[in-house]
């Protein structure tokens, strides 16, 4: 009689970012699979303390199979550098892993079909903070929240800290968003340095917001 668990069973039970990426590359669960060039599962280490979630791959991302490699990505890199972080330290992905044709907004059905991959990535990485870029990524966590009300304020969503900011593409279109995103990045840095615990300070809007949940 053997009591050892076969290796294959252990491997089956263990998820990994590579396995998720492999399944995404074969996925046909929503119509976006028909028009994609490459899937864009996301990039970064499983040990990342921050997960950054954008909307959807654009032209360059679809061509290269990597997230945020175009103009918005360059701005994202700058924003990360402004708080002494490098892209290699964070995990970056999107609410859908395939490009919507002509960069249209992802449809609710597409985001819903793709959510299982995002959920598995979050489970594996278990980040200190999830940073959502723009209203699509925010709505994956807080469907009724208005980005202009919650951006730059840490939110507790099912015991996961979510930090919404505007999408860098908005900053490329309008300068006023650039200033706001830069300020919110500084707040993110403060939150990270507090180890995700905004502390007991009642004058701190972050802790008030968190205590609401």
Binding site for ligand SF4 (CB under 6 A): 24, 27-30, 32-33, 39, 96-98, 110, 113-114
Min dist. Cβ of residue 31 to ligand URA (A): 19
**Residues in contact with 69: Cβ distance below 8 Å, sequence separation at least 6, in sequence order:** 60, 61
Q: CB nearer to ligand URA: give 44 or 58.
A: 58
Min dist. Cβ of residue 73 to ligand URA (A): 6
Q: CB nearer to ligand SF4: give 29 or 204.
A: 29
For residues 130 and 133, give the distance between their C-alpha atoms in angstroms, rounded to a whole number: 10
54's contact among ligand SF4, ligand URA, none, with CB below 5 to 8 A by partner kind, is ligand URA
Asked if 56 is part of the footprint of ligand URA (rule: CB under 6 A), the reply reads yes
Segment 62 to 121, residues that bind ligand URA, using CB under 6 A: 67-68, 72, 94
**Residues in contact with 8: Cβ distance below 8 Å, sequence separation at least 6, in sequence order:** none
Min dist. Cβ of residue 212 to ligand URA (A): 28
**Residues in contact with 178: Cβ distance below 8 Å, sequence separation at least 6, in sequence order:** 171
For residues 68 and 207, give the distance between their C-alpha atoms in angstroms, rounded to a whole number: 31
Give Cα separations from 175 to 69, 127, 168, 182 (angstroms).
21, 30, 11, 11
Q: Contact residues for ligand URA (CB under 6 A)?
A: 54-58, 61, 67-68, 72, 94, 169
């Amino acid at each position: 009689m053997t009591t050892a668990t076969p290796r294959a069973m252990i491997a089956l039970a263990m998820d990994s970012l590579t396995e998720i990426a492999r399944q995404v590359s074969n996925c046909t669960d929503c119509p976006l699979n028909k028009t994609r060039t490459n899937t864009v599962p996301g990039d970064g280490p499983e040990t990342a303390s921050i997960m950054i979630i954008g909307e959807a791959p654009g032209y360059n991302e679809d061509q290269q199979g990597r997230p945020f490699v175009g103009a918005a990505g360059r701005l994202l890199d700058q924003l990360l550098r402004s708080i002494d972080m490098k892209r290699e330290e964070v995990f970056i992905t999107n609410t859908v892993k395939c490009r919507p044709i002509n960069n249209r907004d992802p449809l609710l059905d597409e985001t819903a079909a793709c959510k299982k991959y995002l959920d598995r990535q979050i489970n594996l990485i278990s980040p200190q903070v999830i940073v959502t870029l723009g209203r699509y990524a925010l709505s994956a966590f807080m469907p009724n929240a208005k980005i202009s009300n919650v951006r730059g304020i840490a939110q507790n969503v099912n015991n996961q800290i979510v930090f919404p900011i505007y999408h860098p593409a908005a900053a490329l279109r309008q300068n006023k968003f650039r200033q706001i995103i830069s300020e919110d990045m500084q707040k993110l840095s403060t939150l990270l340095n507090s180890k995700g615990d905004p502390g007991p300070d009642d004058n701190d809007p972050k802790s008030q917001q968190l205590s609401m949940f």
